Structure 1
Amino acid sequence: MQIVLMLLVTVAISYYREVSLLHVHVPLDDYCAQDWWQNMMLIQNMFSTHYMCANWTWSLACEMQFHVLAMLLLHLYVHRPRLVRRLVVGILVANLVYSLALVVTMDIQMRFELLSPQMNDHFYFNSFVRLQTYAVGAVYAHAHVNGIRDGKTPLDLVLPGRLVKSLAAAVVLWVIWQLQLEANDQNKQLITAGVIMIRLIISLITLHLILANFSTERCSFVIRWGTQLLQANCFQFFGKLTFTFYLIHPLLIMCFNYGFSYLLPSDFSLWSIITIAYTVIGFAVSTVLTLFLEMPFNRLTNLLMSSLATQQAPASKKKDK
């Protein structure tokens, strides 16, 4: 999908550069022609997002790098489990210290027009900062593999008892309340605590849903309903569809923008109709690309992997004999 997107971006932006009456501010076609190798190697997040081919694909590079790191750690865990446990704990501690130091050293303010660009460039796009979720996930995975007594999770070991959890929830609510006060717009310590807590809370909610798949009978109705929804085939297909929509929608927005010869009036009803039409077109294009490109390619990959596995199985049996 990323290769197809790069081709579509190059062709579309080159076309609108010649025919559109509006000025093309970001020459994505030139960036794709020059730096296509960054996207092909999935390392584009290591470069400036302001000069990148389809710069919204930076998250794909992060996910692939985390996947490769996880596979290496799993392979090493078979031979050196104690070393991998120390590495994961070290990554988590280093991530928290680095994230705290990064936010503290930034000249950050709790105003959206100032906070958004600062957090995007230095924090949100930062691969090492995003490792926090995966490091916490590794801790949960290790606890699950080695058995969790009485249905307890790593969070239960850190925060034992309802009283401690209630106090922690009260502290989180207090920090959220303080963050919305204008007097704390430049309180770096409070902002740092809020940013770290938000990421931890999202990680813990996700991991609890994953663990709930293995013991749904012990979970509440809401968690059981959430896990069943995530496992449904229709939701799995919707996940593939939204992934394609995520990749293709910025290009559709640019084509929509450069396709007009004048600025549209800021009328709410007009923009509402345009937004609905754009969403319908985006999902229609995503459905076509998912059904006729993404899913067939995934099936072909699975067939190739299964054929390689069947070829390697007889060879391993011969060696054993």
Structure 2
Amino acid sequence: QYWWRNLLFIQNLFSHNDMCLNWTWSLACEMQYFVLATILLFTYAKNPRLVKGFTAAIFVGTIMWSYSIGLGAKFQLSFDSAFATGTEIYISPFVRVLPYVLGAATAWYILQNQMKIDISELKEKCIWNLAILVFFSCIYSTIKRDMSVLSAISLFIIGRLLFSLSVCWMIVGSATGRGVWWSRILEAKVFQHINRVSYAIYLLNPFVIAFFFSLTNASTHADPLMLCVLTSGFVVIVYLASVVFSLAFEMPYCNWSSLMLKRGSKQKCL
């Protein structure tokens, strides 16, 4: 009924109960942030101070918005609460923008410093280890359920903030060639390859699972061994489908974009 919202990338601005292909809410967020970032980049070229102020306002605004919505909805760290506040918190671009703001600020900082970070090797190792500790702490900090609404929404916001900062450091550290032994594992070619098809995997896996179960009326027993076999099969099928999807859609667009940028650079030189 509301498929047209997906075409306009605005499905996350409406109730999640009415969403067509409800897992595509993140695609809408990505497109909205991309459009906003493009506008800000052009504006930054003429008025850097205005863009910096606007970005800071977004940062403060998303935190205040998250607190107001969370307190009003009596948010708790549970699946039921997350589903009940799906429209206001989980898929809301006003709440989800926090990691993107931090990522953009990190990218700006590293470019301003010409991909250089002037810290000692000891501090660098400490930051790397702190980043991975914060990363996993944020993931598992939501295990605790019985807490006040203020504590729950604070943990939600602060956890997302710290989680984003830890990821930002991992990206910056890898981009500047500064890392530790476990960070080099993340830079392995196999992970680089998976990264290229990760979004396609995210988009396609519900289709594959739904299609498989639509072919049979038989129930699936919750046997650990059987579920492992079933999951392994889904992993292989989804991976192959994502590779085809990437080659058919993402790669041509990326190549076309690169050619357009190179063409624009040559025209400027002439």
Task: Indicate the TM-score class for this superposition, using the shorter chain for normalisation.
Answer: 0.7 to 0.9
- Change in Cα spacing, 1:78 to 1:98, as seen in structure 2 (3 Å) is same
1:209 equivalent among 167, 170, 190: 170
- Change in Cα spacing, 1:57 to 1:151, as seen in structure 2 (3 Å) is same
Residue 106 of structure 2: aligned partner = 140
| Amino acid in the other structure paired with 2:247 | L
Residue 13 of structure 2: aligned partner = 46
What is the CA-CA distance between 1:141 and the residue it aligns to?
Answer: 3.5
- Change in Cα spacing, 1:59 to 1:151, as seen in structure 2 (3 Å) is same
What is the CA-CA distance between 1:186 and the residue it aligns to?
Answer: 4.5
Residue 70 of structure 2: aligned partner = 103
Matches within 5 A, 1:83-122: 83-110=50-77, 112-122=78-88
Unaligned runs of 5+ in 2: none
| Amino acid in the other structure paired with 1:143 | Y
- Change in Cα spacing, 1:113 to 1:76, as seen in structure 2 (3 Å) is closer
- Change in Cα spacing, 1:303 to 1:142, as seen in structure 2 (3 Å) is closer
2:200 equivalent among 240, 244, 268: 244
Take 2:160 and 2:85, find their aligned partners in 1: how far apart are those partners? 13
Take 1:67 and 1:291, find their aligned partners in 2: how far apart are those partners? 22
What is the CA-CA distance between 1:305 and the residue it aligns to?
Answer: 4.5
1:63 equivalent among 1, 24, 30: 30
| Amino acid in the other structure paired with 2:240 | A
Which of structures 1 and 2 has the bigger CA Rg? Answer: 1
- Change in Cα spacing, 1:221 to 1:181, as seen in structure 2 (3 Å) is closer
What is the CA-CA distance between 1:304 and the residue it aligns to?
Answer: 4.3
What is the CA-CA distance between 1:289 and the residue it aligns to?
Answer: 2.5
Q: Deviations over 1:202-251 (max 9, x none)?
A: 1101211232245434x44444x26734xx4x433322322212111111
Contact 2:11–2:19 (8 Å) recurs in 1:
yes
What is the CA-CA distance between 1:150 and the residue it aligns to?
Answer: 7.0
Take 1:206 and 1:102, find their aligned partners in 2: how far apart are those partners? 26
Q: RMSD over aligned Cα, in angstroms?
A: 3.2
TM-score (norm 1): 0.68
Residue 228 of structure 1: aligned partner = 187
Residue 125 of structure 1: aligned partner = 91
Aligned residue pairs total 255
What is the CA-CA distance between 1:301 and the residue it aligns to?
Answer: 4.0
Q: Percent same amino acid among aligned pairs? A: 27
Take 1:69 and 1:91, find their aligned partners in 2: how far apart are those partners? 12
- Change in Cα spacing, 1:143 to 1:248, as seen in structure 2 (3 Å) is closer
What is the CA-CA distance between 1:95 and the residue it aligns to?
Answer: 1.1
What is the CA-CA distance between 1:189 and the residue it aligns to?
Answer: 1.4
